Chain A
Amino acid sequence: MRGLAADPAFRNGVMRCVRCSICVPHCPSYAVFRTEGDSPRGRVQLLRAAIEGRVVPDATFERHLDNCLSCRACEDVCPSAVPYGQLLDQARAQLVTSRHARGRKRVTRIVLEQLVARPGRLALVARVLAIVQWLRLDRLIRWLVRPLSPVTARRLDLLPRVAGRPFDARTAPRPAAPTVAFHAGCVMASALGDVQRAALRVLGQRGHATLVPVGQRCCGALHHHAGLIEQARSLARDTVARFEGTSVPICTTSAGCALAMKDYRRWLADDPAWSARAAAFSTRIRDLVELAELAEPAEPGVRVPPGKVAVQEACHHWNVQQLRGRALELLRQGGATAVALPRGAGCCGAAGLWSAQNPEAAWQLLQPLLDAIEGSGCAVVSVSNPGCLFHIRAGLRARGSSIRALHLAELLDPADPA
């Protein structure tokens, strides 16, 4: 952490915390682990101790940092404006090469570098997974694994279910004068192809000529959270370059990607060749829930299922991006009876790879949200982030619930009344 001790911005950020504890009750990892080190306040104080030389980062120190879901609920409620997300990303970047938890870090690195960042391989894995799931082999594997390792069985519970064939940018129309560009994403494109195609129809229905740049890769959000900062920056540069040539807004269907891409200006701020390009790119990013800013629907009313729709708001909408209530508003404009879930239900516990690393904790965090969804009396729940969608679907499936979790794009889709 020596490098961070010499960084005045990092030091000032850490020193801003007066340990008031306002963040603690809002933190999902504190809710599940219930120790100070697993609260935002505790983590910031650990960082302070580290740069002041009062503690040498060890396995426990790193575990507390890794237990953060990066939901940034703490940052949203912090009266002292502690830049928590930034501090944590910087600290994780320092610790990514440390000797602690090497095995787990290696697995994470392999998954992120060799799979998530490579669209071809990701699509292939998604197809294999789809076949496995179609043959119900996953259930058989789970049944065999469960007596040996309940944690692995839980991981299998949480494995994404592939929805339709992968989304391929090359098959999308190429308008001469696009009015919006579409970010296809990595996991979204591979495992939720149906959602991406629905999103294009939604944009089309709103009168947009949508350009889908080919060759898109992962936006780097997952890498950044895991402390793989250089890889994340490289993916960011790649993404920025793909969308240059036009200045139209860029629509994304993932709350996590939207936040990351809006943050590119910060990620690449110290890169003279890219800082201006990244800043220009970041201002173009629009989450699908910001759709109302992109265009009004060509005809009033989108086809949404009868009955009430419960609306789950992703942490990355609720916190930092301040897009609260936008999904609700869009669904209501479309004629749905949309019901906001109580925010007390909190984070679903997906958080990118976090749920794979902490399956039991992720499962525990999901339960109050599932209770709220089931208690809402709705037949459908709207979700706006891929991680949350997989996680909530897995939870509802495990409960044997008939409630369907659908992406907002599927609910707004004019061609496919869900």
Chain B
Amino acid sequence: MAIPADLATRVRDVVGRDAYLDSPADTLSYGFNSYPLYTQPAAVVLFQSRAQIEQVLPLLYARDVPMVIRGSGTNIAGSALAPPGGVVLSLERMTKVLEVDPVSRYARVEAGANVKAIQELAGQHGLFFPPNPGNVDAITVGGIIGCNSSGDLALGYGATREFILGLDVVTGDGRVLKLGSKVRKDVTGYDLVRLFVGSEGTLGVVVEATLRFIEKPGSDASVIATFRDELGGAELALELLGRRLGPVALEYMDERTTRAVEEAFGLGLSPEARSTLIARFHGPAETANVAAEQCRAIFLAHGAIASEARAGDAAQKLWRARHLAYPALARVCPTLYGEDVVVPPRHFPAAVRRIHELGKAHQVEVALFAHAGDGHLHPVLLTDDSDPAQRARSDRFVEEVILYVLSLGGAITGEHGLGVHKTRYVGHQYGEAERDAMLRIKLALDPKGLFNPMIFPVTGHEPKNPRRRGVEIL
């Protein structure tokens, strides 16, 4: 479906000729995320300012054009995938920092601002912005808000949601909802800020956010340890949580992930390593180092092949390697499906075991890394999508993993969002009553169901198999 010429002209009049893209090469360039599915939108609008969004959105909405909001296109579940015939609203050029108040500890920024830049901004004022998802170099503030991303430091500090004080959202009719405030304590009315955080762009366009900064920790130390068996690391992660050392991050990598990371980043890990644990400690002056030393002693006492504490550049290299474990796995296999399930941390070692068992049972290759402290697992399917039999086995594997984590009281997605990948599984976690409540909220804010329509809940009908649907789009 092409965008009507008169509508395209009106949009161009607002954003400028160069910021409205509709050539095939350009629209294809915006038809992907990190999720292995390709679509082709009818057009892409590159916004420079919220004023442009306020003008363009009602034009598109009035003409029933489906839309998706895209920051840096890193989503692994396909949360920012262009709807067929729709328009990509790109916020990648909206990167301004609008206000910083180091005393009140907040910053107001545009939604396309890069998260690493925000972390550095906080650091310049002696403050700290904890949301730290793996792809921090590239991701946008709007992206982590859309998925309530958490990353490794969520164990110590919580997910993105804890650091959003206010949002400015543009709705389909061009109205601006100014939600929240600049203060932490605010119970005025419903907490719509929290509603929008994690809503995957299905309700409106977040154009600005007020972010909460906290005090920078006085010390920062990390410990890495490798183990001879895959479960050893997972079990020790649980043991470590019980020791109350207070890690702010506790990460696990299985054998395949350890090898891929070692190949990509050369951390000097033992070739015998079958699993890896990395812990990080923050605290007042020197306390992190003390905790890290205690942690290292525990690792060694529990049979670690090697364990060492790292700080400064060496620690940064370590965390970079861990953060980029997912793309490093592309060295093993080019088609990756990054799963994202959560169990109560008590069940973490059992979940690691069960997921590997399910992989074997369904004959799918699985690598696994995890935010162990949160019971948040990222099994990665190493697969060949061109083989329908393999694809069917992968689908069955994913569904069984989902049923398993739900049986433990977990969640089917922790930070990637539903995306087109998991929309079809919502019914496993929520019944009709819950889904109906969500649908009512959706329709109250987006009555035509035009924002990110490939994601549940849209207008009551979910795509049965988004991957096949994607192929049709091509």
Contacts and interface: CB of A to CB of B under 8 A. Distances in A.
Nearest to B264: A79
A35 interface: yes
Given A12-B334, A18-B334, A18-B336, A79 B327 contact: yes
A106 interface: no
A46 B138 contact: no
Contact of A34 (B40, B92, B116, B138): B92
A36 B29 contact: yes
Interface stretch (B30-38, B124-132, B278-286): B30-38
Contact of A45 (B21, B29, B327): B29
A55 interface: yes
Given A15-B334, A80-B327, A80-B331, A45 B28 contact: yes
Contact of A37 (B26, B38, B327, B331): B26
Given A16-B334, A80-B328, A21 B29 contact: no
Contact of B138 (A18, A21, A35, A81): A21
B427 interface: no
A18 B326 contact: yes
Nearest to B88: A36
Contact of B28 (A15, A21, A55, A79): A55
A21 B34 contact: yes
B93 interface: yes
A20 B334 CA distance: 12
Contacts of B74: 19-21
Contacts of A251: none
Contacts of A80: 264, 327-328, 330-331
A64 interface: yes
B137 interface: yes
Contacts of B264: 79-81
A63 to B, nearest CB: 8
Given A18-B34, A19-B73, A55-B25, A35 B46 contact: yes
Interface in A59-96: 60-61, 64, 78-81
B23 interface: yes
Interface string A22-40: 1011000000001111000
B423 interface: no
Contacts of B336: 18
Nearest to B320: A79
Contacts, number: 104
A249 to B, nearest CB: 27
A37 to B, nearest CB: 4
A269 B165 CA distance: 59
Contacts of A25: 114, 116, 137-138
Nearest to A78: B327
B24 interface: yes
Interface residues of B, number: 39
Contacts of A54: 28, 38, 40, 474
B297 to A, nearest CB: 32
Given A35-B46, A46-B28, A58-B24, A24 B72 contact: yes
A272 to B, nearest CB: 31
B199 interface: no
A411 B267 CA distance: 37
B25 A20 contact: no
A296 B292 CA distance: 44
Nearest to B325: A79
A80 B334 CA distance: 9
A12 to B, nearest CB: 7
Contact of B29 (A17, A35, A56, A57): A35
B135 interface: yes
Contacts of A35: 21, 26, 29, 46
A42 interface: yes
Given A54-B474, A81-B264, A20 B135 contact: yes
Given A45-B28, A46-B28, A60-B26, A79 B73 contact: no
B324 interface: yes
A49 interface: yes
A186 to B, nearest CB: 34
Interface string B133-174: 001011100000000000000000000000000000000000
B328 A37 contact: no
A37 B25 contact: yes
Contacts of A79: 264-265, 324, 327-328, 330
B38 A49 contact: yes
B327 A18 contact: yes
A16 B23 CA distance: 26
A22 B29 CA distance: 16
A77 B36 CA distance: 21
Contacts of B326: 18, 20
Contact of A24 (B24, B26, B138): B138
Contact of A64 (B29, B93, B324): B29
A78 B330 CA distance: 10
Contacts of A24: 72, 138
Contacts of A81: 264, 330-331
Nearest to B334: A15
Nearest to B326: A20
A66 to B, nearest CB: 12
A45 B34 CA distance: 11
Contacts of B139: 21
18 contacts: A16-B330, A18-B330, A21-B72, A24-B72, A24-B138, A34-B46, A35-B46, A36-B29, A37-B26, A42-B29, A45-B28, A45-B29, A46-B25, A49-B38, A54-B28, A57-B25, A58-B25, A60-B26
Query: Which 9 interchain pairs have the tightest Cβ spacing?
Result: A80-B330, A21-B138, A20-B327, A61-B25, A15-B334, A79-B327, A37-B29, A79-B324, A36-B29
Interface of B: 21, 23-26, 28-30, 32-34, 36, 38, 40, 46, 72-74, 90, 92-93, 114, 116, 135, 137-139, 264-265, 324, 326-328, 330-331, 334-336, 474
Given A22-B137, A35-B26, A60-B25, 7 more contacts: A18-B336, A25-B116, A36-B73, A54-B28, A58-B23, A58-B25, A60-B23
